[in-house]
């Protein structure tokens, strides 16, 4: 097949460096195929590339999370704006967004392996409208004793953890993939 033989073509406007790198990445022989470290060091690839800087012991500052929901001038929660943009609907996802959301297809992990050890993401799909999804999640969170704050199809949940010894916070966001398909 074409994949096994690495038969492909690049548009003529592709830079020579990009064509060379693609050829090395698609090499069907694992012994001669380019390695991640070599990709990072490739002249064409590294042009303008700035690696992510790791902050090892970053303190969680809830003021940063709160600033997303609070008025920058008064510091008070903007409850009157919670559904200001509700007529616009949730953000739409395109094919590239979907690729990035998929751990198996997200190529950024190949180049920057450092990931936040505390951050955990869970995704689910629904055919229910975004408002219904958020209100259902809000009811569940509040029944568990958490405070909820909703704005522009994003919900912040906060309160004490299950063992009541530490603070828990989570962010939920609803994206529209198709007219009746939400993540």
Q: What tens digit of pLDDT does each residue of 160-182 get?
A: 877 778 888 888 888 887 777 78
Domain ranges across the chain: 1-50, 60-182
pLDDT of residue 84: 46
Please give the CATH number for the structural domain made up of 60-182. 3.30.310.80
The tokens 């902050």 sit on which residue? 55
CA-based max dimension of the chain: 63
Predicted confidence (pLDDT) per residue in 33-80, tens digit: 898 889 888 888 888 777 666 655 555 555 555 555 555 555 554 444
pLDDT band at 153 (very low <50, low <70, confident <90, very high): confident
Entry pTM: 0.44
Predicted confidence (pLDDT) per residue in 14-37, tens digit: 888 888 988 898 888 889 989 888
pLDDT of residue 147: 92
Q: How many CB atoms sit inside 10 A of residue 158's CB?
A: 17
Q: How many CB atoms sit inside 10 A of residue 98's CB?
A: 13
Select from 98, 95, 111 the least CA-distant residue to 46: 111
Q: How many CB atoms sit inside 10 A of residue 108's CB?
A: 10
């Amino acid at each position: 097949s074409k994949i096994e033989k690495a038969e492909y073509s690049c548009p003529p406007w592709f830079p020579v460096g990009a064509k060379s790198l693609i050829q090395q990445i698609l090499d069907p022989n694992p012994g001669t195929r380019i390695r991640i470290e070599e990709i990072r060091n490739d002249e064409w690839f590294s042009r303008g590339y700035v690696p992510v800087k790791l902050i090892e012991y970053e303190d969680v500052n809830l003021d940063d999370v709160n600033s997303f929901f609070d008025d920058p001038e008064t510091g008070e929660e903007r409850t009157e704006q919670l559904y200001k943009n509700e007529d616009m609907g949730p953000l739409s996802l395109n094919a590239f967004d979907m690729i990035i959301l998929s751990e198996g297809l997200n190529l950024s992990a190949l180049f920057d392996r450092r990931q936040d050890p505390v951050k955990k993401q869970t995704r689910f799909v629904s055919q229910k409208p975004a408002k219904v999804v958020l209100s259902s999640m809000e009811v569940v969170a509040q029944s568990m004793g958490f405070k909820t704050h909703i704005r522009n199809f994003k919900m912040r949940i906060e309160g004490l953890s299950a063992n009541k010894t530490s603070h828990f916070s989570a962010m939920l966001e609803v994206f529209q993939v198709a007219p009746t398909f939400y993540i």
